[in-house]
C-alpha cells in the first residue's frame, strides 16, 4: 500500500499571469505570494511524519520543496517523473490565447485524452507517466508536483480512467493524501 502526500507547488509568476508553464521552459519561480504560500504549507505539514521529500525538477516545484524541506528537515530529491505536462510550443503563451479543447480538456472534462500540443504530451502520456512514477514511489513521501500530474494521481487514486478525469481547480500550495495499492516492479 502506498501512503503519500501530494502537493501542488505554490503560485509561480506565470500562474499569476495566466501563462502556460509546462516543462520545457523552466518558467520563472514563485511569486511573492507563492513564497508566502510555500512557507505556510511547510508549517501545515510539520509533524506529518513524512520520511522523504520528492520534487519535480522544475523551478517552481523545487522552490516549494525547499521551503518544505527546510521546515521538515528533509533534503528534496529531484525526480523528473513528477514534472508538469509538456505543453510544447504552447509554453510561455497565455492560456487565453487558446480555444477550449485545444489541449484535450473543455469545460473541466477530458474531450480527447490523446490530443497533444505540438512538441508536447497528451493527457494519456502524463497519466501513464504518473502511473509508472507511483509504482516507483516509496511510502511515506511528500511529492511536490504540478496541476495536471496531480489530477492524474488523484484520478488513479479514485479509480478514474484518463478519459473520465475531471479538471476541477486545484489550489496552489494544496496537499492531498493518497493511499492506494500500486503494482510494484518485480513483485
DSSP string, 133-171: HHHHPPTTEEEEE-HHHHHHHHHHHTT--GGG-B-----
Residue 69, domain CATH: 3.40.50.1240
Mean pLDDT of the chain: 94
C-alpha cell belonging to residue 36: 508566502
Has residue 62 been placed in a domain? yes
Has residue 186 been placed in a domain? no
Q: What is the total count of domains within the chain?
A: 1
- Answer whether residue 94 shows pLDDT above 70: yes
Has residue 187 been placed in a domain? no
Supply the residues annotated as catalytic.
Answer: 9, 84
Has residue 153 been placed in a domain? yes
Within 10 Å of residue 134's Cβ, how many Cβ atoms?
22
- Answer whether residue 8 shows pLDDT above 70: yes
Has residue 145 been placed in a domain? yes
User: What is the mean pLDDT of the segment spanning 139-161?
Assistant: 97
Cα separation, 97 vs 101, whole angstroms: 12
Q: What percent of the chain has pLDDT over 70?
A: 97
Has residue 107 been placed in a domain? yes
Q: Give the three-state DSSP class for 114.
A: coil
Cα separation, 20 vs 83, whole angstroms: 14
Cα separation, 82 vs 116, whole angstroms: 18
Range of the domain at 160: 2-180
pTM of the model: 0.94
Amino acid at each position: 500500500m502506498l501512503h503519500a502526500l501530494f502537493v501542488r507547488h505554490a503560485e509561480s509568476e506565470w500562474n499569476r499571469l495566466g501563462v502556460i508553464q509546462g516543462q520545457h521552459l523552466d518558467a520563472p519561480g514563485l511569486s511573492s505570494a507563492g513564497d508566502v504560500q510555500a512557507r505556510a504549507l511547510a508549517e501545515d505539514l510539520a509533524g506529518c511524519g513524512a520520511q522523504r521529500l520528492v520534487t519535480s525538477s522544475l523551478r517552481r516545484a523545487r522552490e516549494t520543496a525547499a521551503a518544505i524541506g527546510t521546515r521538515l528537515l528533509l533534503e528534496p530529491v529531484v525526480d523528473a517523473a513528477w514534472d508538469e505536462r509538456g505543453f510544447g510550443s504552447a509554453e510561455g503563451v497565455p492560456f487565453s490565447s487558446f480555444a477550449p479543447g485545444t489541449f484535450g480538456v473543455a469545460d473541466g472534462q477530458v474531450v480527447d485524452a490523446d490530443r497533444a500540443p505540438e512538441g508536447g504530451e497528451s493527457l494519456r502520456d502524463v497519466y501513464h507517466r504518473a502511473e509508472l512514477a507511483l509504482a516507483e514511489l516509496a511510502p511515506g513521501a511528500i511529492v511536490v508536483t504540478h496541476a495536471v500530474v496531480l489530477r492524474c494521481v488523484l484520478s488513479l487514486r479514485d479509480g478514474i480512467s484518463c478519459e473520465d478525469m475531471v479538471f476541477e481547480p486545484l489550489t496552489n500550495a494544496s496537499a492531498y493524501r493518497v493511499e492506494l495499492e500500486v503494482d510494484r516492479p518485480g513483485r
